[in-house]
């Protein structure tokens, strides 16, 4: 079938959350406080952490356009696509690399965090519009973008009760970071490809409140985090050649730790992403633009001691993932280019799962390896992380 609208998918079937542990728990991370990935996810959560580092590799979903010229010269061209699980290029660069350095004391905890984070790998196929009212779209154009940030963050925790003391409202942590946004862009054109890079500043911050703590019963925390948009100064005109900024992101979540006989952690998160502001308005009337998205996540983590110094952490989660379009049969446009892809819906239900193994060295330092996967999108994705306490 000529002109089939099949192509590359962006975030619709990808969980853009970073970290193997967070991915396994559906991306519900805002009220964590014991993972170095929080330098990016919620910097308030690093305030009480020891000196440690984390590295994460994870896959993304891509839909490379496949073109069949036909058996005979007179046959029309056929376009098709199949979802693929890919690592970003170059493959040796991780999706996340972060460090936490403890600065304070147990009575007055504070920390410095430094990280590189790549939450978005966008890969779109597009049709060039020539005016309103078009009904046939062919994915002859494409844009690929790697959107990442380098962050330096500081966090401080304020104690309202002594460590280990039971009661309500035991601590409040604040964290903030300054970012250098990095963008690498490639536009695929039948007349010749174009590439470019750009830098811009951004910021992020978060808060974490200990609502209740009893070391023999449970711990309940709530958190919120904000990631600013990054507006890149592109070397090209985004109307003539589509290019996307990094979206604004707001998260709110809670975590419940059950202690004692059932060592279980439960998490829940709500996230909003301002996709609408990342792209240009359509150049012609009658075409949709991108929309903002709201995602809901939940997760569970069970602690299982299997040896004197070894602990397993089975994890599961779920995620209601909203695509940045309202109608899968009428996809959005940016400038004079319309997104072309094969998608079944505007909302995806992802099931996530994973396993962590943690051990303590002879010097009393904790190490951990975490593996995660998700399904329910158009391709299966995985994440692998390693955390090392110094």
Read off the pLDDT of residues 73-87 as tens digits, 9 standing for 90 and up.
555 555 655 667 778
Q: List the single range of 60-69, 152-161, 245-254, 336-345 with lowest mean pLDDT.
A: 60-69
**HEC-encoded secondary structure of the chain:** CECCCCCCCCHHHCCCCCCHHHHHCCCCCCCCCCCCCHHHHCHHHHCCCCCEEEEEEECEEECCEEEECCCCCCCCCEEEECCEEECCCCCCCCCEEEEEEECCCCCCCEEEEEEEEEEEEEEEEEEECCCCCCCCCCCCEEEEEEEEEEEEEEEEEEECCCCCCCEEEEEEEEEEEEEEEEEEEEEECCCCCEEEEEEEEEEEEEEEEEEEEECCCEEEEEEEEEECCECCCCCCCCCCCCCCCECCEEEEEEEEEECCCCCEEEEEEEEEECHHHHCCCECCCCCCCCCCEEEEEEEEEECEECCCCEEEEEEEEEEEEECCCCCCCCCCEEECEEECCCCCCCEEEEEEEEEEEEEECCCCCEEEEEEEEEECCCCCEEEEEEEEEC
pTM, whole model, 2 decimals?
Answer: 0.90
Task: Give the pLDDT mean for 309-321.
Answer: 96
pLDDT band at 3 (very low <50, low <70, confident <90, very high): very low
Q: Which pLDDT does position 7 carry in this prediction?
A: 33
Q: List the single range of 2-6, 303-307, 333-337 with lowest mean pLDDT.
A: 2-6
Q: List the single range of 90-94, 271-275, 358-362 with lowest mean pLDDT.
A: 90-94
Task: Give the pLDDT mean for 379-390.
Answer: 93
């Amino acid at each position: 079938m000529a002109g089939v609208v099949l192509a590359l998918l962006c975030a619709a079937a990808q969980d853009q959350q970073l970290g193997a542990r967070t991915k396994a728990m559906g991306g519900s991370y805002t009220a964590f406080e014991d993972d170095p990935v929080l330098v990016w996810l919620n910097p308030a959560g690093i305030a009480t952490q020891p000196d440690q580092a984390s590295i994460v590799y994870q896959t993304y979903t891509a839909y490379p356009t496949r073109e069949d010229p036909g058996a005979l010269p007179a046959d029309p061209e056929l376009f098709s696509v199949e979802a693929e699980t890919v690592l970003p290029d170059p493959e040796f660069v991780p999706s996340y690399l972060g460090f936490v350095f403890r600065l304070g004391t147990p009575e007055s905890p504070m920390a410095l965090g430094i990280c590189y984070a790549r939450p978005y790998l966008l890969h779109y196929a597009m049709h060039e519009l020539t005016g309103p009212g078009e009904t046939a779209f062919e994915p002859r154009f494409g844009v690929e973008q790697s959107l990442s940030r380098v962050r330096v963050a500081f966090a401080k925790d304020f104690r309202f009760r002594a460590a280990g003391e039971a009661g309500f409202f035991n601590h409040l942590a604040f964290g903030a970071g300054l970012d250098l946004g990095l963008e690498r862009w490639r536009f695929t054109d039948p007349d010749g490809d174009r590439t470019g890079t750009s830098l811009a500043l951004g910021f992020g911050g978060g808060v974490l409140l200990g609502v209740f703590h009893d070391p023999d019963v449970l711990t309940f925390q709530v958190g919120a985090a904000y990631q600013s948009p990054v507006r890149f100064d592109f070397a090209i005109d985004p109307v003539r050649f589509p290019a996307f900024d990094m979206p604004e992101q707001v998260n709110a979540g809670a975590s419940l730790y059950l202690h004692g006989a059932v060592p279980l952690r439960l998490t829940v998160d709500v996230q909003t992403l301002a996709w609408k502001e990342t792209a240009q308005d359509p150049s012609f009337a009658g075409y949709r633009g991108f929309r903002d998205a709201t995602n809901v996540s939940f997760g569970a983590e069970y602690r299982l001691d299997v040896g004197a110094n070894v602990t397993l952490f089975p994890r599961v989660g779920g995620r209601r993932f909203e695509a940045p379009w309202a109608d899968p049969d009428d996809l959005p446009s940016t400038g004079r280019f319309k997104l072309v892809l094969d998608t079944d819906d505007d909302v995806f239900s992802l099931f996530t799962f994973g396993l962590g193994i943690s051990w303590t060295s002879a010097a009393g330092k904790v190490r951990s390896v975490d593996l995660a996967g998700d399904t329910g999108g158009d391709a299966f994705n995985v994440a692998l992380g390693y955390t090392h306490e110094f």
